[in-house]
Structure 1
Amino acid sequence: MFDLTKSPVTRIGDINDLMGFTAAADHGVFYASGHPGPGSDMPNPMGLVRSADGGKTWEQLSRQGESDFHALATAKSGIVAYDGTLLTSPDGKTWSPATAGFVPAVLAGNPETDTVLATTRDGLQRSTDGGKTWELNTQLPSSNSLRSPAAPKSSASNPMVQSSTQQTPAAPGPRQAGSTDRSRRSPQ
């Protein structure tokens, strides 16, 4: 983590690979999960960790060596997290599986309420009980319905749409001051 309000930008605490990150209601309190950075004595994966000092130090709460939460949110009643299973916790230490049949890409909560949102392949899911139960918002389009049935999943003629088996065109290299982009010239 870095403090962008300082000049020059200042690193805060140790470097860790935080996969999931969310703020709590209290100022400077964060929850995170991921992988320890170089020289860290934290287990891999880190499980759920908590900082009460704006990210300077981290306290191990639970699931160390067990969970790498890629989606994480706080709600008034606790924490909602996804590590392959959607889980809820009132205290960051005890966990219960949520009633959900989806994989969240992102979880978004408000620590002042128990409303939590989850973006999914089928659309937006909403919980009003801190992530224990979920309901699909059927008034919004799903990601599947946003793709035109005629639109190709990948196309050689459209470099912005590619499958993982296609090679991405190489980005142009750096140019020297005063040079011109020769690829835009007409052939001689």
Structure 2
Amino acid sequence: MLVNFLSEERRISYVGCATQLYFVIFLGATECYLLAAMAYDRYVAICNPLRYAIIMNSRACFFLVLLSCASGNVVSVVQTVWVFTLPFCGPNKINYFFCDIPPIIMLSCTDTSFYEKQTITATVLVIFTPFCLILVSYACIISSILKISSAEGRCKTFSTCFSHLIVVTLYYGSGTLIYLQPKQTKILHPPHAPNIL
């Protein structure tokens, strides 16, 4: 991607595009799962502080990271293979600065409604399920924080979650700006700034 930014001729090979798509999906899906795991970690730390060392031992943390990476890999392989089995025709140019599923699907010669439904299903599994787990974790965390009698204690407890909340907001906020737009808006004005985030 960096080579494309710096060169005059902004082209990428078919294999290069597939590789780039694999890593974009892998890193994105893995981050979704890791953010959910981190929310669970914060939940255990605040709601079960006496059992935290037992529940979130190094083995459990390693398992959560491994599961996140393995899930991200499976999703990425399936999505990348699926997208690149589509037949393409005509000028294979996209108005985007990296290979991503929506602009690549638009290059296909066939009816892509089935593939768009598959993308929505994958989006629910990869993005919305971890996001719902994050919301449930923070609902429990906020409920526990509100039970703390002192304002200083509430602030101190909430401050342990603040950095994670900022990352979740930036990640899911930019993802929403990119992927949850009407189809015509994406085609006419692709959102480049949120992609950088």
Q: Shared topology, TM-score over 0.5?
A: no
Instruction: Compute the TM-score of the two structures, normalised by the length of structure 2.
Output: 0.25
TM-score (norm 1): 0.26
Greater Rg by CA: 1
Larger strand percent: 1
Higher helix share: 2
Higher-RCO chain (CA-CA 8 Å, sequence separation at least 6): 2
